[in-house]
Structure 1
Amino acid sequence: MVAVARFARHFGPVVDVLYPPRCPSCGVTIASQAGLCTDCWSSLEVPTPTENEVGAVPIYAATYYNETSRKLVLAYKHGGRIALARLLAQLVAARLPESQEGRAPPVLVPVPLHRWRLWQRGFNQAALLTHELARLGKGEPAVEALARHKRTPNLGGLGREARERVLTGTIRLNPARSARLAGRDVVLVDDVLTSGATSRACIAAMSEAGAASISVACFARVDQDHRLIHP
């Protein structure tokens, strides 16, 4: 890590000259390679704590899914801009509560991808966020705790009930990793929370391991007043 920091300090200015920093959302020139322009920062809509509760499961969302966050998600998830994982994770980390004194840090579990989807995309966007959150001191990663055993079609555009039907029986607990969740606080990590169907399927699977508590952390959350459809 020290070597990386030294490299960034010495060669960062050279990189900035060769590749001028641009806002990953709108493309305008910015001061550094990490971050957003002022306009895009100000356009992110952060949910209030009371808006972050869905049923009995706390939802920690960095922002609502609006035009700005949509562009970031598309660039990250479908545009191959995996370096954005650090920025998105920093925004999520700012919403997560601090670990209680005397309690073990939470276990961070990403929403799984089916192996064919992982092969097509080349990475699991939720797993990358999980690793970045771990680097930020927000918990211990358990990237193989869940597995998606059935390939499902793209859920974009489907309603809640349709998503529930498609996801039935597709996500299961990995028996070899279940002991890591027993008695621990668990945070399910995803990039976008849409209807909550995927999260509920993951929570149902993790509940079998005897987790002490389960919450959800995501970068963007689709809300009824923010009607963009997650692709």
Structure 2
Amino acid sequence: MAADSDPWLPLAAGASRRRATKLNALATTQRLVRATFSGIADLMLPPACPVCRVRLGSAGGLCPDCWQGVRFLERPWCERLGTPLPIDLGPGILSAAAVADPPAFARARSAVSYEGPVPDLVHALKYADRTDLAPMLGAWMARAAHELVGDADLLVPVPLHWGRLASRRFNQAALLAQHVGRLTGLPVATRLLLRTRRTPRQVGLGREDRERNMRGAFMVPEARKAALAGRRPILVDDVLTTGATLEAATRALLAAGAAAVDVLTLARVVAPS
């Protein structure tokens, strides 16, 4: 077989230049096609804010008013739970909740507070097929994950049960994890953690009911435990409310051999000060 016909073999210099020229020409053509169709789409359906539908100059963002309503989470926060603290007491500070009831995960970080336009963004992504929002939301998450990335080996999205995945057609946690992975360089393991049963929706449930609902809902298949042993994954989800889902998923990963588990979510519910 000729060297330039097998992508897994090194190319001769001449063949390499010819291949590079062809790839550059193809990439240029693809960019022109995408730009053309994007322009046509903008004429037919002008870009609009995904929250309030105000017209925008370009797609992929929020209007100024909605942008100002997004509360990005910053220090000071509890080192364990990632919940904002009213005053900065120095590095390593833990909240009363983390001391009284330590979670199974090592650290949790979230990009934004679940308020203002954020619930609408999450709802649009999950239930209105607005997958075009994922790059922006994933970039927010990657920024929030900068403390976790250096210690992590991989990203593990919280899985959906196969029945819910079939009806929704995609897992929003996996989609967000893919974009975080592209920005951080961490691999994404979408088949490492499985959901063993279809749990009732968590909306409207209190903490105890959520914990009972999620108990035993996740597992790592025996054949995949070797890929997890001694490694430190970041568990990825869209929203942290009481933490019951992430707690159950973390315990499954630890039971399967993970050294420690950190948590990353797009948003979290923040109690009023």
**Quick check: 1:110 aligned with 2:157?**
yes
Q: How far, CA to CA, are the matches of 1:167 and 1:67 in structure 2?
A: 28
Q: CA deviation at 1:87?
A: 1.6
**Quick check: 1:61 aligned with 2:110?**
yes
**Quick check: 1:129 aligned with 2:176?**
yes
Deviations 1:5-54 (A, max 9, x none): 45434443332222211111111111211111111111111122333631
Q: Is the 8 A contact 1:144 1:174 kept in 2?
A: no
- The DSSP-based 3-state class of the residue aligned with 2:107 is strand
Q: How far, CA to CA, are the matches of 1:192 and 1:50 in structure 2?
A: 20
**Quick check: 1:97 aligned with 2:123?**
no
Q: Is the 8 A contact 2:109 2:265 kept in 1?
A: yes
Give the match for residue 83 of structure 1.
132
**Residue type of the partner of 1:59?**
A
**Quick check: 1:15 aligned with 2:64?**
no
Q: How far, CA to CA, are the matches of 1:199 and 1:93 in structure 2?
A: 18
Q: CA deviation at 1:218?
A: 0.9
Q: CA deviation at 1:97?
A: 1.2
Q: Greater strand percent: which structure? A: 1
Match of 1:150 among 177, 193, 197: 197
Summarize the Cα distance change of 1:95–1:18 in structure 2 as closer, same or farther, 3 Å threshold: same
**Quick check: 1:51 aligned with 2:77?**
yes
- The DSSP-based 3-state class of the residue aligned with 2:239 is strand
Q: Is the 8 A contact 1:150 1:170 kept in 2?
A: yes
Match of 1:25 among 51, 75, 79: 51
Give the match for residue 141 of structure 1.
188
The answer for unaligned runs of 5 or more in structure 1 is 227-231
Give the match for residue 214 of structure 2.
167
Give the match for residue 249 of structure 2.
202
Give the match for residue 229 of structure 2.
182
- The DSSP-based 3-state class of the residue aligned with 1:74 is helix
Q: How far, CA to CA, are the matches of 2:31 and 2:207 in structure 1?
A: 45
- The DSSP-based 3-state class of the residue aligned with 2:112 is strand
Q: CA deviation at 1:181?
A: 2.0
What percentage of aligned pairs have identical amino acids?
A: 39
Q: Greater helix percent: which structure? A: 2
Summarize the Cα distance change of 1:31–1:172 in structure 2 as closer, same or farther, 3 Å threshold: same
TM-score, normalised to structure 1, is 0.88
Task: Report which structure shows greater RCO (CA 8 Å, sep ≥6).
Answer: 1
Q: Is the 8 A contact 2:60 2:132 kept in 1?
A: no
**Quick check: 1:74 aligned with 2:100?**
no
| Aligned residue pairs, count | 223
Q: CA deviation at 1:184?
A: 2.2
Q: Rg: which structure is higher?
A: 2
Summarize the Cα distance change of 1:163–1:144 in structure 2 as closer, same or farther, 3 Å threshold: same
- The DSSP-based 3-state class of the residue aligned with 1:177 is helix
RMSD, aligned CA: 2.2
Give the match for residue 61 of structure 2.
35
TM-score, normalised to structure 2, is 0.75
Q: Is the 8 A contact 1:107 1:181 kept in 2?
A: no
Q: CA deviation at 1:206?
A: 0.5
Q: Is the 8 A contact 2:230 2:259 kept in 1?
A: yes
- The DSSP-based 3-state class of the residue aligned with 1:24 is coil
